[in-house]
Amino acid sequence: MTAKEWRDKHPDEKGNIRDAADLGQLIVLANLEMLNAEYIKEGFPQSERLQRLRSTAVAQLKSVTNAASTKRLGQRLGK
């Protein structure tokens, strides 16, 4: 979802999409941003980058949100 799509879907929310994300989502987002930068450097077209990033996001979200270490970190940070 793009930032604009999120704002249109949540007009009463303050801040942006990151403010509403949980710890696991923020971890995955940081990883996806790094991967996207690498894919750009390697010259992948946008459509291929999007496909790769989506499949990576799904796999990482499943892994990260179920990880005990993520849950412990979230407790320490109060999230």
Q: Is residue 66 part of a domain?
A: yes
Q: Is residue 45 part of a domain?
A: yes
Q: Count up the domains in the chain and report the number.
A: 1
Q: Is residue 58 part of a domain?
A: yes
pLDDT of residue 79: 62
Question: Does pLDDT of 71 surpass 90?
Answer: no
Q: Is residue 29 part of a domain?
A: yes
Q: Is residue 61 part of a domain?
A: yes
Tens digit of pLDDT for each residue in 11-70? 888 888 888 888 888 999 999 999 999 999 999 999 999 999 999 999 999 888 777 776
Q: Is residue 4 part of a domain?
A: no
pLDDT of residue 75: 67
Q: Is residue 15 part of a domain?
A: no
For residue 8 the two structure tokens come to 């249109």
Q: Is residue 10 part of a domain?
A: no
53 HSE (CA, 13 A, CB side): 21
Domain holding 67, by residue range, is 21-77
- 72 by DSSP, 3-state: which? helix
- CA pair distance 72, 64, nearest whole angstrom: 12
